[in-house]
């Protein structure tokens, strides 16, 4: 039921300067009238508070009539609020006990505790924002890199919604035309001009294609670029992992075969998110634990977007060695480690057939050459060439775009082969519905519930 009034603590738990409790719904003002007064005398009538005007005062315990806290109150009256309902915010002191006491007082007066994402769900159900904007708000909060934060911020302004809505409108007007042709078969040929219809279909296919491509090129800015460190035992893989993380995450010893399990950690390099995995050293072994570790290492390398292939500086490297790990030679950086053991001015020798592969010379133990390596990683990831201020669909959007594109390819065939108009209409309706899933216009309640339940409490 959307007509009940909900409340939640909007700020993170724990102690802090200020904590915000938010109430939304029809009963927000009557409830606050039972709790808030602008003098120490007790609660006052709040039904006529002015919207968007901060009021100073006190929160009183609804039964014990004692002061709970000195607060600022922010009324935002429907429809001029985040949810489009009456909203009242209480800006209190952020201590776990005060915040809880105020929230309990509100609940005592008949308000229900909000579910995760419920304020934003109401903003969506009341048409303040569409589903892509709701998802973007959640992405802004959970962003772990500047790049993904920027992408989410663009999406929150409604850029993706505009693109999708535009494409869907093209399909809906096409559909109207085709349905008219079905209803008035005599005028069908005048209503549907094949060339024009094709043009419209192709325009929407192009929009889908563009969205899918952008996802492929840029989704890693949201999800993180998978970077695997691999090489023989003892080359310094774990030392490099720790160096990049700037913490002693992996165990480092002089004993070959120290790392057995796969170790994964997220970092961000110049605002770009990476998920680094430190793998077990690759070699022939009879040790069953090591064998499992090496199997995991291989899987991690297969999944990786980028590979750091480590060698001790001074040892020779061959194309075959790299072939064994990454046959395509793409997205590999050869990392020569332990440069501190080499004479000053040392440069590694690289066979002619692999000179195109980028390389770096470092000392993981001394932390030398790391800045240069980071630069190489960024440049190979092409993250520096990807514009995070563009619209980047997420996986859910991409799947719906694929569904749209496929349905339209069928529609195209039907049109070219002059099949029945009904068949054409079915495909186009399917495509329009798939687009509507992105913005939430045609998404079913299970999808909506799933998306909103992943939000923070109080959002």
Ligand X SMILES: Nc1nc2c(c(=O)[nH]1)N(C=O)[C@@H](CNc1ccc(C(=O)N[C@@H](CCC(=O)O)C(=O)O)cc1)CN2
Ligand Y SMILES: Nc1nc2c(ncn2[C@@H]2O[C@H](COP(=O)(O)OP(=O)(O)OP(=O)(O)O)[C@@H](O)[C@H]2O)c(=O)[nH]1
Contact pick of 25, 281, 348, 458 for ligand Y (by CB under 6 A): 281
Q: Could you tell me the CA-to-CA distances from 58 to 40, 45, 47, 64 in Å, in that order?
A: 7, 13, 16, 14
User: Closest approach of Cβ 54 to ligand X, in Å?
Assistant: 10
Contact pick of 5, 24, 81, 259 for ligand X (by CB under 6 A): 81
By three-state DSSP, how is residue 59 classified?
Answer: strand
Question: For ligand Y, which is the closer residue by CB, 57 or 281?
Answer: 281
Does 237 participate in binding ligand Y (rule CB under 6 A)?
yes
Does 133 participate in binding ligand Y (rule CB under 6 A)?
no
Contact pick of 155, 238, 394, 414 for Mg ion (by CB under 5 A): 238
Question: Are the C-beta atoms of 288 and 268 separated by less than 8 Å?
Answer: no
Contact pick of 127, 193, 196, 253 for ligand Y (by CB under 6 A): 253
| Contact positions with ligand X (CB under 6 A) in 11-40 | 20
| Contact positions with ligand X (CB under 6 A) in 38-67 | 52
Does 340 participate in binding ligand Y (rule CB under 6 A)?
yes
User: Closest approach of Cβ 250 to ligand Y, in Å?
Assistant: 7
The rounded distance, in Å, linking the Cα atoms of 439 and 436 is 5
Question: For ligand Y, which is the closer residue by CB, 161 or 338?
Answer: 338
365 annotated to a ligand binding site: yes
234 annotated to a ligand binding site: yes
Does 118 participate in binding ligand X (rule CB under 6 A)?
no
CA distance from start to end of the chain: 18
Q: Minimal CA–CA distance to 232: which of 156, 172, 322?
A: 322
Does 89 participate in binding ligand X (rule CB under 6 A)?
yes
Q: Could you tell me the CA-to-CA distances from 74 to 32, 126, 298 in Å, in that order?
A: 11, 21, 56
Output the six-digit token pair for 98. Answer: 């005060």
Region binding ligand Y by CB under 6 A among candidate stretches 63-71, 251-259, 320-328, 448-456: 251-259
Output the six-digit token pair for 348. Answer: 């590694």
By three-state DSSP, how is residue 33 classified?
Answer: helix
Question: For ligand Y, which is the closer residue by CB, 369 or 436?
Answer: 369
363 annotated to a ligand binding site: yes
What is the b/e burial string over 338-368, where b = at least 16 CB atoms within 10 angstroms of the residue's CB?
A: bbeebeeeeebebeeebeebebbbbbbbeee
Contacts 24+ apart (CB under 8 A), 156-161: 157/133, 158/129, 158/130, 158/132, 158/133, 159/391, 160/132, 160/136, 160/391, 160/393, 160/397, 160/438, 161/130, 161/132, 161/133, 161/439
322 annotated to a ligand binding site: no
Q: Which entry of ligand Y, ligand X, Mg ion, none binds 30, CB below 5 to 8 A by partner kind?
A: none
157 annotated to a ligand binding site: no
Contact pick of 132, 145, 155, 337 for ligand Y (by CB under 6 A): 337
Question: Are the C-beta atoms of 233 and 249 separated by less than 8 Å?
Answer: no
- Residue 267 φ then ψ, to 5°: -140, 165
Q: Which entry of Mg ion, ligand Y, ligand X, none binds 188, CB below 5 to 8 A by partner kind?
A: none
Contact pick of 156, 174, 308, 364 for ligand Y (by CB under 6 A): 364
Does 117 participate in binding ligand Y (rule CB under 6 A)?
no
Number of chain positions touching ligand Y (CB under 6 A): 23
Query: Would you tell me which residues interact with ligand Y (CB under 6 A)?
Result: 233-239, 252-254, 256-259, 280-281, 337-338, 340-341, 363-365
Query: Would you tell me which residues interact with ligand X (CB under 6 A)?
Result: 20, 52, 76, 80-82, 89
Query: Would you tell me which residues interact with Mg ion (CB under 5 A)?
Result: 237-238, 258-259
């Amino acid at each position: 039921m959307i007509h009940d009034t909900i409340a939640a603590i909007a700020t993170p738990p724990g102690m802090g300067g200020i904590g915000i409790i938010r109430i939304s719904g029809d009963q927000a003002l009557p409830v606050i009238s039972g709790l808030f007064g602008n003098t120490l005398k007790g609660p006052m009538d709040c039904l006529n508070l002015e919207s968007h005007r901060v009021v100073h005062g006190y929160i009183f315990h609804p039964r014990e009539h004692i002061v709970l806290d000195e607060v600022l109150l922010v009324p935002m009256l429907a429809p001029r609020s985040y949810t489009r309902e009456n909203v009242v915010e209480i800006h209190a002191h952020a201590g776990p006990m005060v915040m809880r006491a105020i929230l309990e007082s509100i609940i005592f007066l008949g308000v229900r505790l909000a579910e995760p994402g419920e304020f934003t769900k109401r903003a969506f159900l009341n048409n303040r924002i569409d589903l892509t904007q709701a998802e973007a708000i959640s992405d802004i909060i959970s962003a772990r890199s500047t790049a993904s934060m920027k992408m989410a911020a663009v999406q929150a302004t409604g850029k993706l919604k505009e693109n999708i809505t535009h494409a869907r409108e093209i399909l809906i007007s096409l559909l109207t035309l085709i349905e008219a042709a079905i209803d008035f078969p005599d005028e069908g040929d005048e209503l549907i001009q094949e060339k024009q219809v094709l043009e419209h279909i192709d325009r929407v296919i192009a929009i889908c294609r563009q969205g899918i491509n952008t996802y492929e090129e840029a989704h890693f800015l949201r999800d993180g670029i998978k970077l695997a460190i691999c090489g023989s035992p003892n080359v310094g893989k774990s030392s490099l992992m720790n160096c990049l993380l700037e913490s002693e995450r992996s165990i480092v010893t002089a004993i070959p075969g120290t790392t057995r399990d796969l170790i994964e950690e997220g970092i961000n390099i110049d605002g770009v998110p990476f998920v680094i995995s430190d793998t077990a050293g690759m070699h022939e072994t009879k040790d069953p634990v090591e064998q499992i570790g090496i199997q995991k290492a291989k899987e991690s390398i297969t999944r990786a977007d980028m590979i750091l292939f480590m060698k001790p500086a001074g040892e020779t490297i061959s194309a075959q060695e790299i072939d064994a790990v990454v046959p395509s030679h793409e997205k590999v950086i050869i990392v020569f480690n332990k440069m501190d053991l080499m004479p000053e001015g040392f440069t590694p020798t690289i066979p002619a057939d692999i000179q195109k592969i980028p390389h770096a010379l470092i000392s993981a133990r001394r932390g030398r050459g790391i800045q240069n390596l980071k630069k190489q990683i960024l440049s190979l990831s092409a993250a520096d060439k990807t514009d995070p201020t563009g619209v980047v669909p997420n996986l859910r959007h991409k799947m719906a775009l694929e569904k749209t594109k496929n349905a339209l390819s069928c529609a195209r065939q039907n049109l070219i082969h002059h099949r029945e108009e009904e068949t054409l209409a079915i495909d186009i309706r399917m495509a329009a519905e798939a687009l509507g899933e992105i913005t939430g216009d045609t998404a079913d309640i299970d999808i909506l519930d799933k998306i909103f339940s992943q939000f923070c409490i109080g959002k």
